[in-house]
Structure 1
């Protein structure tokens, strides 16, 4: 008997290869506002958080008006640089395979509702996800509300739910919600940061993740 009924994915850095674009857009905003420079590693650490939480994490002493301005500049830069969303290799086929295996699939993301709906439409993956939660509908990760709402809506249980994400924010959200969790290292956070969250499994890509899921489903 397979251990999970419901699999919940983060989006940016997990299914979509957007970490470089997000980091570049924020670094550009920092330069435009002439704020103290930050390393790419520092900037990428906030990926997965809601925008308000992200900018206040980067500059905790910045006045609210300047934080709002930083968020606005980031959004403008990100939109201007966007072309067609780039999924990680094998992502679309993996999602379709899980759907065909009768898993319930969902997304819990730091993206806005309009942003997620746009990329789901462009990637043609919308039909495969039963439900989704975004940061403008729930508290930001690592608060577990997104996962708890998805689990309740779909009539699932935390014990038979798996959260997959590329950041410590994803994994700590899963821990707070009582679900299993997998960290994937091709996104925003380093393997070291993910391992520190003691996930059930660490994978380097989606192909390796698919192999692991197949293996544990046969046990």
Structure 2
């Protein structure tokens, strides 16, 4: 039976599949504190989630002298690696991915994480074999540039018009729009629902269970 709308489903990782938003915010704040810098508030730190790490820290800590950013990156990684083994998937993620895979969808990840960071997370969650392709911010242009989605569709032989991009940030949704894919939001991650809905996603899910149901009804 022909699909209604999509053949390829692309997920963001942090804040969409992995419950890591609060940890990332705390690690950005801790890195700034370590170096005696002005500590960004939660809103500023969470807004940059989804971008590549270097770009995210430059946005969260604007005006910092260039030679200090590598030190901030090092401190961020120190704090994050001390906690990432305790991070968990949102409830329902494993079941949703297994079901979508069984239905024959192509599944992919487009993330602001580094390749090393994503591989660690995929191995820790035993999801490496679930995804047909993945793309990280240190391999291509960072969100909201469309390159990740363009590269994933080329690699898998898919059509951007039959691709949905699911994410918890405006960076994810804007990337989908820029690429000509369908943007779909989840409101339980980093960015507030009012900012997500301003980009007119096809749907905004408030839980993984709701996201799964929508994909089954509309995919």
Normalised to the residue count of structure 2, the TM-score between the two structures is 0.96
Instruction: Say if 2:35 is the partner of 1:57.
Output: no
Report how many residues are paired: 217
8 A Cα contact 2:50 2:172, kept in partner: yes
1:47 and 2:49 equivalent? yes
8 A contact 1:84–1:122 mirrored in 2: no
- Relative distance call for 1:105 and 1:72 in structure 2 (3 A) is same
Q: Distance in 2 between matches of 1:30 and 1:84?
A: 22
Q: Which moved more, 1:107-116 or 1:63-72?
A: 63-72
1:185 aligned residue: 187
Q: Equivalent of 2:26, from 14, 24, 30?
A: 24
Partner SS, residue 37 of structure 1: coil
Q: Does 1:147 align with 2:149?
A: yes
Return 5+ residue gaps in structure 2 as ranges. Answer: none
Mapped to 1, the partners of 2:35 and 2:81 lie a distance apart of 18
Deviation of residue 17 (structure 1)? 0.1
Q: Does 1:138 align with 2:140?
A: yes
- SS across alignment from 2:204: strand
Partner residue in 2 for 1:110 = 112
Q: Give the Cα–Cα distance (whole angstroms) in 1 for the partners of residues 111 and 84 of structure 2.
A: 18
Query: Quick check: 2:85–2:124 contact (8 Å CA) kept in 1?
Result: no
| CA distance in 1 between partners of 2:140 and 2:124 (Å) | 24
1:165 aligns to 2:167 (yes or no): yes
Deviation track 1:41-93 (CA, whole Å, cap 9, x = no partner) reads 11010000001111111223111111221111111111112324300001011
- Structure 2: distance between partners of 1:84 and 1:3: 36
Counterpart in the other structure of 2:102: 100
Uncovered stretches (5+) of structure 1, i.e. residues with no partner? none
Report if aligned partners of 1:85, 1:122 keep a CA contact under 8 Å in 2: no
Residue 148 and residue 207 in structure 1: after superposition, are their counterparts in 2 closer, same or farther (change >3 A)? Answer: same
* CA deviation map 1:90-139 (0-9, x unaligned): 10110000000000000000111111111111111111100100011011
Alpha-carbon distance, 1:198 to partner:
1.2
| Matching residue of 2:130 | 128
Q: Secondary structure at the match of 1:164?
A: strand
The aligned runs of 1:76-91 (5 Å cut-off) are: 76-91=78-93
State the secondary structure of the residue aligned to 1:181: strand
The C-alpha deviation readout for 1:7-41, integer Å capped at 9, x for no partner, is: 00000000000001111111111111111132111
